[in-house]
């Protein structure tokens, strides 16, 4: 929400500027503020490096950190000497107000800005958080600020796919997730018209053939979904829509006419948090959905030809794990494989995205995890190497991580049409690739039926080949989404 007639805004991302760090340093010359979006893991490492360099060169330039790191670990972020301000949660309104106060040099007004963290005489001050702002009265995004061509991706549902967000927040209360506390369980969505206008404009600019909607929960309002998909048809927008997050228990209640419409309008796949094959575990994480809901949703997806990616978490901090981790993990594995066999009765059309539980700060399970032995990273460097895939969680047996990687591989190879990868190689090489892919599928299918998750030689060979295609990125992008 910046007034672009008053301020000159430059967006610098690695997509557009391979030497982004140098560009940031150059652009900060004469700037009034640097804002960086930060999440834990590698992006944090980069954000820290850039911020330090900028602070050294331009000590007076205010540096603002926003994004999920600042939202969930506000004090850790703000106490860094090179971070002046943080934004906790949604940023549009916040940023406009902060820049306004900074430009008028009225620092006494900082205390009136919600979601803000700042420093006063060495003290860290965090103002009140708010849930989720309405998106209705926000001005339209200025689409001129980035070169959209640089953000196109190849996926299994399109060769020119863009990611967009259409809503913020989530009304649900899953205990492993940081969204409920951040959004205060308030969900706000753009109207279908707003989304459609943007899609039309983006199509004019870069002729997309697919849309990836990365909302935490797109399908909260069935009416909005209907209006959006109907709008695609009415406006002759022939694109695929994929990797859209939803909930099993909500989507099973959608009217048959909604499903028919979504199929017709190009819904390619959805991502849902199935989380577990055990009712007890679902209730432990306050999922408010059942295993039965997962199976019912599979039936609907089969009927309407929509692919489902089901996210699963193993190693949740239940009493079973606290008592006997090996036994609890074995039970988790069996339950995941049973669930996958169950959802694949009509063929391997759907895939699992399996995670070993890694505690997220600002989630309800964070304190419980610490109580039963999890040691959180001590400082910001620890957070920059904190990866959920191999977080050091004491109740998860070490071998579990390797098995989780193998489970993801097996499910991906079985369910996905990997021939889209061939688009990236000369056709001459593609002749032996199809039978090779078929062989990998056969081995994967055998693994699932036998529940055999040892000696992952086939997986390493497969990924070796993928690396040589330089396409590994696309594969990971497909299996890595949370929701």
By CB under 6 A, name the binding residues for ligand SF4.
170, 172, 174, 177, 179-180, 216-217, 247, 273, 483
Q: Alpha-carbon distance 250 to 228, whole Å?
A: 17
CB of 46 to ligand B12, least distance (A): 10
Q: Which of ligand B12, ligand SF4, none sits in contact with 94, Cβ below 5 to 8 A by type?
A: ligand B12
158: burial class by Cβ within 10 Å (0-12, 13-18, 19+)? buried
Residue 140 and residue 147 in contact, taking contact as beta carbons nearer than 8 Å: no
Taking the complex as a whole, the smallest distance from the CB of residue 403 to ligand B12 amounts, in Å, to 16
Total interface residues for ligand B12 by CB under 6 A: 34
| Contacted by 37, from ligand B12, ligand SF4, none: CB < 5 to 8 Å by type | ligand B12
Q: Among 47, 64, 220, 418, which residue sits at the site for ligand B12 (rule: CB under 6 A)?
A: 64
- Sorted by sequence, the CB contacts under 8 Å of residue 192 that are 6+ apart come out as 224, 227, 228, 230, 231
Q: Is residue 179 at the binding interface for ligand B12, with CB under 6 A as the rule? A: yes
339 part of the interface to ligand B12, by CB under 6 A: no
Query: Could you tell me which residues come within 8 angstroms of residue 342 by beta carbon, excluding any fewer than 6 positions away?
Result: 277, 295, 298
Burial of 286 (0-12, 13-18, 19+ CB in 10 A): middle
Report phi then psi at 52, rounded to 5: -60, -45
Q: How far is the CB of 458 from ligand B12 (least distance, A)?
A: 23
CA atoms within 13 Å, Cβ hemisphere of 223: 3
Binds 247: which of ligand SF4, ligand B12, none (CB < 5-8 Å by kind): ligand SF4
Whole-angstrom Cα distance, residue 331 to residue 263? 36
Reference 477, options 209, 154, 234; nearest CA is: 154
Binding to ligand B12, residues 287-316 (CB under 6 A): none
What does 217 bind: ligand SF4, ligand B12, none (CB cut-off 5 to 8 Å by kind)? ligand SF4
Residues numbered 388 to 427 that lie near ligand B12 (CB under 6 A) are: 388-389
Residues 204-233 contacting ligand B12, CB under 6 A? 214-216
CB of 298 to ligand SF4, least distance (A): 18
Give the H or E element holding residue 405.
Answer: helix 398-415
Taking the CA atoms of the chain, what radius of gyration do you get in angstroms? 23
Of these, 39, 101, 124, 126, which contacts ligand B12 (CB under 6 A)?
Answer: 39
Beta bridge partners of 454: none
User: Smaller CB distance to ligand SF4: residue 217 or 269?
Assistant: 217
Query: Which ranges constitute the DSSP H helices of 36-191?
Result: 42-57, 68-72, 74-78, 92-103, 179-183
Beta carbon nearer to ligand B12, 216 or 335: 216
- Binder among 110, 178, 291, 337 for ligand B12 (CB under 6 A): 178
- The reply on whether position 458 binds ligand B12 by CB under 6 A is no
Q: Which helix (H) or strand (E) holds 124?
A: strand 123-126
Shortest Cβ 85–ligand B12 spacing (Å) = 8
- Cβ proximity of 444 and 416 under 8 Å: no
Concatenated DSSP letters of 318-367: -HHHHH-HHHHHHHHHHHHHHHHHHHTTT-S-SEEEEEE----TTSTHHH
Q: How many other C-beta atoms can be found within 10 angstroms of the C-beta atom of residue 311?
A: 17
Nearer to ligand B12, 2 or 433 (CB): 2
What would the x/- binding string for ligand B12 be over residues 150 to 169, using CB under 6 A?
Answer: ---------------x----
Q: Is 47 in the site for ligand B12 (CB under 6 A)?
A: no
* CB nearer to ligand B12: pick between 283 and 480: 480
Which is nearer to ligand B12, 95 or 374 (by Cβ)? 95
Interface residues toward ligand B12, by CB under 6 A: 35-37, 39-43, 64, 66-68, 71-72, 87, 90-92, 94-95, 165, 177-179, 214-216, 355, 360, 388-389, 480-482
């Amino acid at each position: 929400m910046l007034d672009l007639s008053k301020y000159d805004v430059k967006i610098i991302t690695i997509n557009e500027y391979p030497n982004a760090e140098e560009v940031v340093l150059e652009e900060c010359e004469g700037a009034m503020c640097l804002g960086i979006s930060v999440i834990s893991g590698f992006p944090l490492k980069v954000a820290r490096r850039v911020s330090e360099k900028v602070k050294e060169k331009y000590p007076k330039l205010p540096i603002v950190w926003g994004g999920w790191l600042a939202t969930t670990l506000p004090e850790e972020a703000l106490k860094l000497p090179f971070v002046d301000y943080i934004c906790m949660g949604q940023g549009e309104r916040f940023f406009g107000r902060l820049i306004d106060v900074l430009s008028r040099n009225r620092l006494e007004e900082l205390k009136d800005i919600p979601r803000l963290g700042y420093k006063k005489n060495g003290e860290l001050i965090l103002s009140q958080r708010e849930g989720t702002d309405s998106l209705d009265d926000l001005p339209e995004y200025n689409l001129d600020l980035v070169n959209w061509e640089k953000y196109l991706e190849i996926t299994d549902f399109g060769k020119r796919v863009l990611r967009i967000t259409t809503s913020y927040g989530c009304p649900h209360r899953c205990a492993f997730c940081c969204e409920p506390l951040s959004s205060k369980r308030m969900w706000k969505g753009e109207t279908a018209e707003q989304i459609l206008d943007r899609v039309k404009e983006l199509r004019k600019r870069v002729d997309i053939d697919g849309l990836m909607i990365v909302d935490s929960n797109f399908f909260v309002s069935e009416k909005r979904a209907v209006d959006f998909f109907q709008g695609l048809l009415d406006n002759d927008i022939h694109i695929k829509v994929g990797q859209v997050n939803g909930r099993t228990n909500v989507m099973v209640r959608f009217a048959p006419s909604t499903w028919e419409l979504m199929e017709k309008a190009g819904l390619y796949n959805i991502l849902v948090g199935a989380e577990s094959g055990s009712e007890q575990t679902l209730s432990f994480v306050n999922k408010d959905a059942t295993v039965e809901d997962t199976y019912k949703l599979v039936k609907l997806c089969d009927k309407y030809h929509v692919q489902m990616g089901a996210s699963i978490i193993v190693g949740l901090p239940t009493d079973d794990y606290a008592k006997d981790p090996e036994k609890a993990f074995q039970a988790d594995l069996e339950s995941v494989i049973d669930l996958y066999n169950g959802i694949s009765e009509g063929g391997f059309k759907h895939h699992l995205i399996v995670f070993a539980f890694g505690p997220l700060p600002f989630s309800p399970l964070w304190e419980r995890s610490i109580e039963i032995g999890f040691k959180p990273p001590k400082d910001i460097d620890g957070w920059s190497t904190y990866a959920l895939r191999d977080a050091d969680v004491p109740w998860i047996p070490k071998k579990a991580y390797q098995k989780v990687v193998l489970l993801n591989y097996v499910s991906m190879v079985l369910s996905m049409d990997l021939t889209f990868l061939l688009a990236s190689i000369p056709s001459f090489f593609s002749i032996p690739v199809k039978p090779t892919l078929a062989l990998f599928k056969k081995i994967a299918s055998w693994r699932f039926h036998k529940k055999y998750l040892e000696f992952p030689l086939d997986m390493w060979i497969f990924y070796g080949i993928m690396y040589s295609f330089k396409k590994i990125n696309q594969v990971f992008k497909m299996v890595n989404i949370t929701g």
